[in-house]
Amino acid sequence: MLIIAVLLFKKFSYTQDANRYNLVIVNLTDEKALVRAVSKLPSATAHVAFENSVRQRDQGCVVVKEEQGDSLVKAGIWTGFDAAHVFPVAYSALWPTLGFNSIGISGSNEDNVNSVQNGILLRADIHQLFDTYFFSICAKSNHKIVYFMPDVNNIAGTHLSQEFISNPRRPPDELLDWHFRQAVLANVKAEGEPVFEHDFNTGENMIGQIRQGPQPQQRMEFELFMRLAHLQPEVPGNAPSHP
């Protein structure tokens, strides 16, 4: 389905102020963002290796450009920083379906989802915003930080550093483009997607709260497959369903 959008541009000159109309064809889509929530990943060999590789490469939050101190790095202390997956491990079975096998990422034992090239180091609070699509990185706009919610960190409109962009071990643009598209679908389309509760207290009925929350089936599938993804690299044919 197509609609025609009429955009009004103001064209200023020294002698006149004229209006110019451009006709733009906009494609409407039924596509929805995949359900994603902030969750603590279980301790697993694949995730530990992923964390260590991302920390070693980035040395700090690549978005706010806040580095961990050298003394803390040498001591192996990374409190306040998280290694975030660009493409979530819960959807690892969708990796080949989306054509990501062709972008040349090499992970340990072909576990591409846990490759360092599918990760970025973020401050813990920024990680939560990234996972819930409050902001994303627009690779096509010189890797600009684009916020879809109020930006309390004053980083909207900034760009990833050239040092990070030039690193051959950084996430390829195809993965960043995927995350950006998900963020657009989650925030711009219709009323947007819900933000899921993730801060469950010890002993709290997590399953009960998920059942009472929005999109309970999709959320339960996400939580289940995120954990299963660490038990085996890939389960063919098993992945959370598209919403």
Beta bridge partners of 61: 66
Strands (E), 124-242: 135-138, 144-147
pLDDT, one tens digit per residue, over 15-35 is 444 556 656 565 666 777 777
The contacts of residue 18 (CB under 8 Å, 6+ apart) are 11
Cα 82 → chain centroid: 13
User: Max alpha carbon distance in the chain (Å)?
Assistant: 71
3-state helix, strand, coil in the chain (%, to 5): 35, 20, 45
Question: pTM to 2 decimals?
Answer: 0.70
pLDDT, one tens digit per residue, over 89-133 is 888 888 999 999 888 776 666 678 889 999 999 999 999 999 999
Distance between CA atoms of residues 87 and 195, nearest Å: 18
Q: What is the pLDDT of residue 47?
A: 82
12 pLDDT exceeds 50?
A: no
CB atoms under 10 Å from CB of 137, counted, come to 24
Phi, psi of 180, deg, nearest 5: -65, -40
Q: Rounded mean pLDDT of 64-82?
A: 92
pLDDT > 90 fraction of the chain, expressed in percent and rounded:
41
Structure tokens at 52: 């260590």
